[in-house]
Every structure is written in structure tokens, then in C-alpha cells.
Structure 1
């Protein structure tokens, strides 16, 4: 084999000419894991990934007979390996492939029957059998902010910590504490790629559903306390954030925003994020669907699942394709999923770009500046 080809293989593997067998094996395994991870298909097609794997095998087979042995290497490489032997070795090392075509589906959980009403519920008929409603996707017109108490509001988000337009901006205004948790979650990540394909399930935050009546005070003066009856409680909402795109809007590397992901990549990430959401919901155990007694036992559990047609707004993915994945990932789930058409409250406005190009909130004169500096109006999920 020509020496130029050998040098090219070393360059491809990013190894020095005097690399040892241990270094070659370690680098080969790292590249295999990268190319067979779920993130590879976000940036390359299946065919491109297969070409890279084939070239990687070729480089490994060519360098294996000529690399020097390290101090811990006791077995000598006497002759070149065949491609079949290399492929067999790689199959033993790489993690299972997980693509849309061969994605693993967890076994459906066993759902225990609803608990029997207690003696305190003796006024009700006890011989009725309450069954789980089962999973189905129901589309209806309505307002996503008028869902029942303890409902889970599901929407797709970017990994940049920005809720800037559409339902995301409305959620930010309605649930500022939930937004703070989402933003802190994004900041804690070492890199945005660590979040893609995951789900953040945010429990109801007291600051978002407990409000004070300013006119009812116990005492006089600026330090007057608020009696318990002055606290008004709204419905509690869980917020499920599906990380389906690393960025949002158009590419702007000045702010490290790669722009919204490709349609194929968003769908792949949606599948992973929905799978994680289902796992998190099942951790709470089956819900009590007896409307007469559920408030006694399920007070801290997430309830009904509601969403908009996520991915179809700023991310531009046809809803039918997202719905197909949703129906596959939640098949056999214990409760239905309701999708509403009209999602934005009348007073919810998108964030505006203020002076100097910084992204600001449109709420009154107290502007909250984010770390992003954009030249145009930004968009997010």
C-alpha cells in the first residue's frame, strides 16, 4: 500500500505516526461509538454514516499490522486481519444502533386497577367499575391555558434556553418560574448537544399558581402581612419540555445559535424525548381515574396530558409526522393525549428586540435582558 494512503489513514484517525496499538484501538472504538450514537443521524444521513464506518474499518485494517506494540501488548499481530474479522470485532464493541427504523420500544407497563373508594365515600355507589380510558390522540379547539388542574402541558423547545415566540412566549409569561427552571437547566448543560432528545418535566411551581390579593391586608403600612384568605390559587400545571432542536430561527454563530434543526433531525429527537417523557410519567405509577376519589390519592401526580401541535410552529415540521411518532411512542399508555388548535392567550405577545439588538421581554417597562444579541427578531419553539 502506498505510503500516502497510510499517512491519510493516520490523519483521518487523528493519530501520530508513532501511535501504539493501544492508542489505535482506543481511537477506533471512540469513533465507532460516535458514529453509532443517536446524534450522528442529526448531522448526517444514514448513507453518509455507513460510508464513514466503512472507511474507518479500512483505515483500522491497514494500520493494524504496522503499528508498534506498546509495553502492555503481549500478543503480536502476525498477519493482516480480513475485513470479515474486522467487522466481527467491531460488532462486539459498538453499542446497538437506534434509528427510527429499529428503535427499541419498552414493554408496556402493567396497569393496576383503580383503588376502591374509602368508607368516607359511602354516599357513592361502590359497585361501579372504573376503567382506565386508555391512550388516544384527540384534537380539539380550545386554549392550552384552560386545561384542568394538574394537567401536563407538552411543547417542544430549543437547547439555548429561549422561549421567544408563539406558545413558548405565552408559557414564559404565564409560568415565569417554570421558565426559570428550564433556562437554568439549559445553562447547567456542558453543551447544548447534551440536551437534545431529552425531556424536562417541570412540576407545578407555587410562584406560578399562588397569587396574592393586594387589596386584602392584615394591618397598615408597607409591612402589612397578607392573611391566608388573601392567597388565590390557580390551577396547577406541569410543563413538559421536549428538546427537539438545538437552536432556533436562523443560524447565528455570533451567539452560538446553529438555527433550527432539520426536519429529519427534529423527528428523531422527538422520538427520544417522547420516550423519556413516558418513562418519567410512568414513574409516578398509574393514575386513579375514579373522578369521585382521585383528588384524595393523586394530588401530587401529573394528570391529563395536553399539548399544542408541537414542532409544527417555529420548527416547521408537519404535525402529521410528529403525531405518527407520538402514537407509536405512547401506544398502550394509560391515559389519552389532547391536542388543542388555538394556543395563544390574547395578551401574550412575543419577545421584542430592544435597543442595541438585545432580546427583551415585552411586559411593561421592566425589560428582562437575555445574554443573546440578535440583529433580527428571534424565533424559538
Structure 2
């Protein structure tokens, strides 16, 4: 969902034919849309979107979220502002339920925003200056809280499903409304989101990705990265972590 504090997009190097991009599927497909890579998530090509799972209280304080915060402090500020807005303006929306068809559960659930949505943050100029990469940041709101207060596995799965569907819709809208090929993210990358601190088996999350039908390159070596120690004052130090470049594995969504 759009954030009132999000700044204008920054030009990106990547270009592609928007009409050639397949629409996201809304039903289960035998096609595997999850593509593993040993490359570094944070070395993804310019113009790519990096996806990760977030709480709704405005905190990137542990796990890979600390690396996102160190590399993309401006994007973090937008995310935190988005969370504050919905904490101060309580609203709800309906998301699909993932219970079996013969269950007594209702087919939909009412949840508090921004749960079950995606926040798509365009590349921010100060983040680009920090590390030289033009990345979109996608926040999937999968749990209200974090740590011991995180939602149950079943609730997180419902929220992931809804957030991925919201992301697919937003990506389609960005493509349709784009004036140039730099107005939307060309490729999607992620870690194995939700499999760490949110404790959801990756096989479950990857199946949810396949159901939605978004091509995502998953960087399997990114779960235990430490936040780089940038010198913010003069920007004289770049992240020193060894980065494995991407080959032809990146697939357009």
C-alpha cells in the first residue's frame, strides 16, 4: 500500500519490455516460481526489488532486518513511518483464509492494517549514495509483533499469502502506470523470509509464492549476514562483506 512519506523514484539502469511480463497467477500452478541462488541478496542488479518479512511496529532490530536497516536507512524511515501511520489510524481489511475447504472457518478474516499487505519502497537517493545500489525494498507485513509475541504460524501464513497477492497487484499497477522502464522493479529477490525468526518452514512459504505466481530469486546464503559498519559522516567506507555476483538466474516477474 502506498506510504504518504515515500519519495520519488530514482532512475535505474535496468530496462525491459513491460508488455512481455507475465501476469501473476491467482491459482496453484505446477510451475516453480522460486529460484534458488548462492549469490548475495544485497548485490542484486540495479532496479531489482529486495523482499523481506516485517512486523507492524516499525522495528528492524534482529536477523537480516538489521542488514536491511544498515544498508537502506532511508527505506527504513519510510517503513517506520508507514507503521506509525497505521498505529495512530487503526483500520482493518479482509484477507483470505487458508483453512481447508471443509473447515468450519470463515473463508475470509478481518485483520488490522498493515497486516497482509506489502509496502513497495522506491530506491532512495541517500541509500544509493551509501552503497551504490539502486534497489527497491519490499516489506511484507506478516506479523503484528516480533520475537516471542510474533503471530502463530497459521496466522503468518495467511498474512504472507495476502501480502504476496497485494504485492503482485501493486507490481502490475506500477508497470501499467510507468512512464519509463525505470518506474517499476524489474526483478524480485529475497532471502528465505519467515523461515528464521518467524519460524515458518521455508517449504510452506515457497508454496505460497508458487500459488501467487511471482518469480522470485531466493538468495540462500543471506540469512546470517551481519550489518555492515558504514561511516555515515563521509561515506568513505563501503560494506566489506564478500559479494557473489548474479549470473543469468534473475528472472523477470
**TM exceeds 0.5?**
yes
Do the aligned residues in 1 keep the contact of 2:52 with 2:193 (CA within 8 Å)? yes
| Alpha-carbon shift at residue 348 of structure 1 (Å) | 1.2
Q: Which has the larger radius of gyration?
A: 1
Do the aligned residues in 2 keep the contact of 1:287 with 1:298 (CA within 8 Å)? no
What pairs with 1:262-341 in structure 2 (closer than 5 Å)?
Answer: 262-285=152-175, 297-330=180-213, 336-341=215-220
Counterpart in the other structure of 1:166:
63
Q: Matched residues in 1 for 2:209 and 2:113: separation? A: 22
Do the aligned residues in 1 keep the contact of 2:60 with 2:69 (CA within 8 Å)? yes
- Cα gap change, 1:363/1:235 in structure 2, threshold over 3 Å: closer, same or farther? closer
Do the aligned residues in 2 keep the contact of 1:287 with 1:303 (CA within 8 Å)? no
Q: Deviation digits for residues 7-35 of structure 1, max 9, x if unmatched?
A: xxxxxxxxxxxxxxxxxxxxxxxxxxxxx
Matched, 1:209 2:128: yes
Query: Which one has a larger percent helix, Structure 1 or Structure 2?
Result: 1
Do the aligned residues in 2 keep the contact of 1:170 with 1:345 (CA within 8 Å)? no
2:51 pairs with 142, 154, 169, which one?
Answer: 154
Do the aligned residues in 2 keep the contact of 1:154 with 1:241 (CA within 8 Å)? yes
Q: Matched residues in 2 for 1:344 and 1:173: separation? A: 15
Q: Matched residues in 2 for 1:205 and 1:243: separation? A: 20
Question: Aligned residues, how many?
Answer: 187
1:343 pairs with 204, 209, 222, which one?
Answer: 222
Do the aligned residues in 1 keep the contact of 2:136 with 2:185 (CA within 8 Å)? yes
- SS of equivalent residue, structure 1 residue 243: strand
Q: Deviation digits for residues 44-90 of structure 1, max 9, x if unmatched?
A: xxxxxxxxxxxxxxxxxxxxxxxxxxxxxxxxxxxxxxxxxxxxxxx
Counterpart in the other structure of 1:238:
136
**Structure 2: segments with no counterpart, 5+ residues:** 1-15, 24-31, 92-111, 234-253
Do the aligned residues in 2 keep the contact of 1:201 with 1:241 (CA within 8 Å)? yes
Question: CA RMSD of the aligned region, Å?
Answer: 3.1
Counterpart in the other structure of 1:181:
78
Query: Which one has a larger percent strand, Structure 1 or Structure 2?
Result: 2
| Alpha-carbon shift at residue 114 of structure 1 (Å) | 3.7
Q: Deviation digits for residues 148-168 of structure 1, max 9, x if unmatched?
A: 001000011001100011111
| Alpha-carbon shift at residue 310 of structure 1 (Å) | 0.5
Q: Matched residues in 2 for 1:315 and 1:246: separation? A: 11
